[in-house]
Amino acid sequence: MGISRPSGPVLLTTAATAGALVLTALVPGSATADPTPRPVTREGSPLGDGRAAMTPEAAAERALGSAPAPELTDERGRGYPRERKLTAPPENSADKSIKLGLTPYHGIAPKLNELQRVGDRVSVEIAGRSAGGHQLYLVTVTAPESAPEAARQERMRERIENAPSAAAKDKAIRASYKTPVFINNNIHGNEWEGTDAALKLIEKLAKAKDKKSRSLLAHNRLYFNITANPDGRIAGTRANAAGFDLNRDFITASQPEARAVREIAVAKQPAVMIDLHGYVNGTLIEPTTPPHGENYEYDLFLKNSYANALGMEAAVNGLGYTEEKDGVKPAVIPFRDQEEGWDDWPPIFTPQYLPFHGAVATHTIEFPMQVNNAAYEREPVAELRRRAAVNVDIAGAAMRASVDYADRHRTSLIADQIEVFRRGATGAKQVPVSKETVPGVPGIGPEDVYTTTFPRAYVIPAGGRGQRSATAAARLVDHLLTNDVRVERAGHRFRLGGTTYPKGSYVVDMHQPKRGLANVMLADGRDISGKVSAMYDISGWSLGRLWGASVASVKKGDLDRVRAREVRAASRVGHVAPRGDLRLRLDDPREIAAVNFLLAEGVSVRRDRDGSAIVPSSARRTAAVAARRYDVEFDATKAEGGAALHRTRVAAAVTPGELFALREMNFDVTPVSTAVLNAGFDWRRTDALFVSAGLDHDKLNATARAGLDRFLTEGGGLVGRGAAGAALNADAGLLAVKPVEGNGDANGVVRVANRGGTVTGGAPAHSFVYSPMWFTGLGSGVRVEQRYGSGDLLVSGHWRAVEDGTGGPSAAAGRPCVVSGTARGAGVVLFGTEPLFRDHPKGAFPQVGRALLSVDRRHSV
């Protein structure tokens, strides 16, 4: 039960604000036994179900954290097939697939309806909706199953995860469990052909009458996400309708399409997974070059992935395409054929996320013939269709080879999946890859060995001095739970690893089947700057450091002494003090969203010296609405506050991720760019300008430049991030600072030191950088809000000096990375960090929110 609060007229919850989670998969203290199920208590409820496409307003209210995955249609109690009559969308002649001779999105539903009528092997579920509101179709192809048989399959699936030691000895699982294979298509919208290859394979299997096909479907379930990105498929864009690259969104799962795949991973538990992409010639087939993710059971993964890759290579090359005749080069397996440059280090890609749910063979497949971007516009239609047909053929070959591999090796695949979960549940050590541990895989060297030491537990302390933000802690807990990480909540104060934690603290016991996923989210990560020269994408992330909650790593401890119960949702923390004026700490994006809500409702809010918001007691009822909606705490205060806060209307020349973050924080945002300003822009409805991309002062016409200068000199505020923000500051003659750009390839989690006050008061001691920047030559009146940490500032990631020795972390150490001041009447804040990057550093979001609320001088006292 939660900790009771003093009663009052607007008391919102009796649950403890100081909730702490414990994640367990075993009876505490057990090192060998399978987990024993514990009583489950529902202590709160998740945010919404995420089924519908979210408007910016809904995102501001609901997506401020880890919104739960859109659940697959509840088909429990039903067998297969599970036929569903799909409603076809209206025909869209602008669908970019049509030019390539491929299936437009509006043609998929009729095709699936037709395939369901062919026989009794094809089922369709709605896995969710895209950001643009389009349905996501999950197709299952398998032999018919009665309702009791489907239930038996589900029990076996659950036993594999939850009782892996027993499952390893279960003869029924070895004999009759259907191997789950997942084929994900078109996650990059302008990499189309996987969808069409999947439809062809589904049709072939639906109609096949041969003995081999019947046996295949009797022993396997094949799952096809027909198009993971219908928005991009229609528009011919890599990103979805919200501008997000969905194959960078795993771990954070900010987008509904990623949450749908997450739900498939949890509910279906694939053993084999392939993700269809383009365009790399010759066809690229993972496994990858180093560095390899250190939280995988990589020995099991490499054994199966390499073997399956060889089969796909043979199938693709066996189609007979040649470079001379068709422009098609032989397939490439990076692990075997390359030294570096295509790694599996970050868990943000689909094939790098699925192994944490038990997949032991996962692959990105890049078919070879480019048909997108410039080629789409340049090449004749006939050539584009020839290329697309080649890609469909190659994608189909990769699919068929993977399905055949799963069928031939289904017993060992499931045994390896069980072993992944067993190692997690029992706390077993990882097995380093070597010629002995992964026989048959050539070229394994010390550069391929990546393992980690898992802590005994993580503790997310209850509110109070040990927890920076109860709101952030609750969001982090809910996010762990939606990712199928097990969390418990302590019913009493306890001592673990030499530290005493209060009642209500959350604990993540790392003896659990999906310990790799828990660790990849909560651990600091590793500085891998010395391992390779450059990384394909980000190399540092840590929700434990960047999401704003205090998280403790406990290396050793006796969890038998922790009395805890497994939870399915974090306790709600929303609360309003029963009397007196109210203080709202602006330390979390939900708190920024709440204060923007109050301002929009006309509440008189003032800012205290530490940047928190002071709300008059007369607004208690409105505060109660905000507390419920955003799950934030309003504490009693005697502080009167200083300057009045006002609703800040933001003109934003930013990346899609930053726009999404601003709307999460409930700002009234109007996207702008150089072109928008040149076309004529009314600055009267804008209070602050946020610039990080797409706005070049030198390319503004005279009228646009005059309008921008007038906005700034009349008290409008500027928040700038990175090179674009710093350049606009210089071109407009504002703050006297010299920006210094670090290595443009650098990224990661860094230590920072905060000055406190309006912008960085209460900010975390860590932030995120991507092409880092710092400031020197600070003129009069420039205030340093935040500095990079001294000494070794990089916690995890990849940050080297450039060839001439400049731009490295040693040059940045101790340097200002966030500065502020007033110039020409404008309030200015400049960021050299990346505080809104792809939903990763949520704990840093409020720094931008506070900056936007503070730079408007026209409304300041």
Rounded to whole angstroms, the Cα distance separating 679 from 701 reads: 9
Q: What is the pLDDT of residue 641?
A: 81
**Residue spans of alpha helices (H) in 523-655:** 543-546, 589-600, 620-630
Residues near 721 by Cβ (< 8 Å), separated by ≥ 6?
654, 658, 690, 691, 692, 830, 831, 834, 835, 836, 848
pLDDT of 104 above 90: yes
Greatest extent of the chain over all pairs of C-alpha atoms, in Å: 82
Query: Per the CATH hierarchy, to which homologous superfamily does domain 93-426 belong?
Result: Zn peptidases (3.40.630.10)
- If one compares 463 and 578, the residue with the highest pLDDT of the two is 578
CB of 183 closer than 8 Å to CB of 223: yes
- pLDDT one-digit tens code per residue, 339-395: 999 999 999 999 999 999 999 999 999 999 999 999 999 999 999 999 999 999 999
- pLDDT one-digit tens code per residue, 721-740: 999 999 999 999 999 999 99
pLDDT of 646 above 70: yes
pLDDT of 678 above 60: yes
pLDDT of 48 above 70: no
Please name which of 461, 480, 662, 419 lies closest in space to residue 550, comparing C-alpha atoms.
Answer: 461
pLDDT of 92 above 80: yes
Rounded to whole angstroms, the Cα distance separating 54 from 62 reads: 9
Catalytic residue among 419, 488, 633, 664: 419
* 93-426 shares its CATH topology with 582-637: no
Q: What is the pLDDT of residue 107?
A: 98
DSSP 579-591: SSEEEE---SHHH
CB count, 10 Å around CB of 765? Answer: 14
636, β-bridge pairs = 582
- pLDDT one-digit tens code per residue, 483-514: 999 999 999 999 999 999 999 999 999 999 99
pLDDT of 232 above 50: yes
Extents of the domains making up the chain: 20-37+452-567, 93-426, 582-637, 649-855
Mean pLDDT of 851-860: 80
Q: What is the pLDDT of residue 528?
A: 97
Q: What is the pLDDT of residue 858?
A: 63
Mean pLDDT of 645-651: 96
CB of 562 closer than 8 Å to CB of 769: no
Rounded to whole angstroms, the Cα distance separating 2 from 453 reads: 33
Confidence tier at 463 by pLDDT (50, 70, 90): confident
- pLDDT one-digit tens code per residue, 582-601: 999 999 999 999 999 999 99
Rounded to whole angstroms, the Cα distance separating 283 from 280 reads: 6
Mean pLDDT of 608-637: 97
Q: What is the pLDDT of residue 8?
A: 32
Confidence tier at 317 by pLDDT (50, 70, 90): very high
- % of the chain beyond a pLDDT of 70: 91
Domain 582-637 sits in CATH at 3.30.70
The question of whether 419 is a catalytic residue gets the answer: yes
| CATH class held by domain 649-855 | alpha beta
**Residue in the structure block whose two tokens are 């003090």:** 577
Confidence tier at 15 by pLDDT (50, 70, 90): very low
Confidence tier at 14 by pLDDT (50, 70, 90): very low
pLDDT of 76 above 90: no
